[in-house]
Structure 1
Amino acid sequence: MLSVNKLSIDYGSNRVVSELDLSLTESEILMLVGPTGCGKSTILQALAGLIPISEGEVNIGKWRATPKLHVLPEKRRVGMVFQDFALFPHLNVQQNICFRLKDTKLADHWISLLGLDDFRNKKPATLSGGQKQRVALARTLAHQPDFILLDEPLSNLDAALKDTLRWDIRHALKEAAVPAIWVTHDQEEALSVGDRVGVLKAGKIQQIDTPEHCFSMPSNRFVARFLGEASFIAGDYQQATVSTSIGNAPALAINCQHGKVDVLLRPDDVMLLQDENLSNGVVTWVRFEGGSRLCAVELTCKTLVTSRVSHEIVVRPGDAVHVYINTTHPLAVYHRA
Structure 2
Amino acid sequence: MLEVNGLSVDYGSNRVVRNLDLKLNESEILMLVGPTGCGKTTVLQALAGLIPVTEGKIAQGGWISTPEKSVPPEKRNVGMVFQDFALFPHLTVEQNVQFRLKDNTLADHWLELLGLSDFRQAKPSRLSGGQKQRVALARTLAHEPSYVLLDEPLSNLDAALKDTLRWDIRDALKKAGVPAIWVTHDQDEALSVGDRVGILNKGVLEQLDTPEQCFEKPASKFVARFLGEASFLQGRIAGSNVETAIGSAPVYTANNAQELVELLVRPDDVIVSHSPEHANATVLRSRFEGGSRLLFAALDSGETVSARVSHELKVMPDQRVHLTLQSSHPLSALSQ
Instruction: Name the CA distance, whole Å, in 1 between partners of 2:21 and 2:31.
Output: 14
The letter of the residue matching 1:228 is: G
Residue in structure 2 matched with residue 335 of structure 1 by the alignment: 335
Asked if structure 2 preserves the Cα contact closer than 8 Å seen for 1:217 and 1:254, the reply is no
Q: Deviation at 1:255? A: 7.1
Asked if structure 2 preserves the Cα contact closer than 8 Å seen for 1:253 and 1:334, the reply is no
Instruction: Name the CA distance, whole Å, in 1 between partners of 2:107 and 2:25.
Output: 24
Query: Over aligned residue pairs, what C-alpha RMSD do you find?
Result: 0.9
Counterpart secondary structure, 2:261: strand
Aligned residues: 336
Residues 143-194 of structure 1 show CA distances to partners (whole Å, capped at 9, x for unaligned) of 0000000000000000000000000000000001111000000000000000
Residues 282-311 of structure 1 show CA distances to partners (whole Å, capped at 9, x for unaligned) of 111000000000001111011110000111
Asked if structure 2 preserves the Cα contact closer than 8 Å seen for 1:238 and 1:258, the reply is no
Normalising by structure 1, we get a TM-score of 0.98
Residue in structure 2 matched with residue 280 of structure 1 by the alignment: 280
Where do 1:181-196 residues align within 5 Å?
A: 181-196=181-196
Counterpart secondary structure, 2:168: helix
Q: Deviation at 1:275? A: 1.1
Residue in structure 2 matched with residue 85 of structure 1 by the alignment: 85
Instruction: Name the CA distance, whole Å, in 2 between partners of 1:143 and 1:184.
Output: 24
Instruction: Name the CA distance, whole Å, in 2 between partners of 1:108 and 1:70.
Output: 34
Q: Deviation at 1:258? A: 3.1
Unaligned runs of 5+ in 1: none
Given the alignment of the two structures, is residue 324 of structure 1 paired with residue 301 of structure 2, yes or no? Answer: no
Asked if structure 1 preserves the Cα contact closer than 8 Å seen for 2:6 and 2:20, the reply is yes
Q: Deviation at 1:318? A: 1.2
Residue in structure 2 matched with residue 97 of structure 1 by the alignment: 97
Instruction: Name the CA distance, whole Å, in 1 between partners of 2:4 and 2:286.
Output: 44
Range that drifts further, 131-140 or 256-265: 256-265
Unaligned runs of 5+ in 2: none
The letter of the residue matching 1:285 is: R
Instruction: Name the CA distance, whole Å, in 2 between partners of 1:308 and 1:216.
Output: 17
Q: Deviation at 1:254? A: 4.8
Instruction: Name the CA distance, whole Å, in 2 between partners of 1:43 and 1:254.
Output: 32
Residue in structure 1 matched with residue 41 of structure 2 by the alignment: 41
Counterpart secondary structure, 1:181: strand
Where do 1:173-184 residues align within 5 Å?
A: 173-184=173-184
Given the alignment of the two structures, is residue 64 of structure 1 paired with residue 64 of structure 2, yes or no? Answer: yes
Residue in structure 2 matched with residue 147 of structure 1 by the alignment: 147
Asked if structure 1 preserves the Cα contact closer than 8 Å seen for 2:32 and 2:199, the reply is yes
Residue in structure 2 matched with residue 208 of structure 1 by the alignment: 208
Residues 182-235 of structure 1 show CA distances to partners (whole Å, capped at 9, x for unaligned) of 000000000000000000001000000000110111001000011100001100
The letter of the residue matching 1:194 is: G
Asked if structure 2 preserves the Cα contact closer than 8 Å seen for 1:25 and 1:179, the reply is yes
The letter of the residue matching 1:121 is: Q
Instruction: Name the CA distance, whole Å, in 1 between partners of 2:57 and 2:76.
Output: 14
Asked if structure 2 preserves the Cα contact closer than 8 Å seen for 1:219 and 1:254, the reply is no
Normalising by structure 2, we get a TM-score of 0.99
Residue in structure 1 matched with residue 21 of structure 2 by the alignment: 21
Residue in structure 2 matched with residue 129 of structure 1 by the alignment: 129
Residue in structure 2 matched with residue 106 of structure 1 by the alignment: 106
Counterpart secondary structure, 1:8: strand
Counterpart secondary structure, 2:8: strand
Asked if structure 1 preserves the Cα contact closer than 8 Å seen for 2:258 and 2:335, the reply is no
Counterpart secondary structure, 1:331: coil
Q: Deviation at 1:120? A: 0.4
Asked if structure 1 preserves the Cα contact closer than 8 Å seen for 2:206 and 2:223, the reply is yes
Instruction: Name the CA distance, whole Å, in 1 between partners of 2:253 and 2:225.
Output: 17
Instruction: Name the CA distance, whole Å, in 2 between partners of 1:254 and 1:70.
Output: 42
Instruction: Name the CA distance, whole Å, in 2 between partners of 1:234 and 1:198.
Output: 28
Instruction: Name the CA distance, whole Å, in 2 between partners of 1:48 and 1:113.
Output: 26
Residue in structure 1 matched with residue 299 of structure 2 by the alignment: 299
Residues 70-120 of structure 1 show CA distances to partners (whole Å, capped at 9, x for unaligned) of 111001000000000000000000000000000000111100110001100
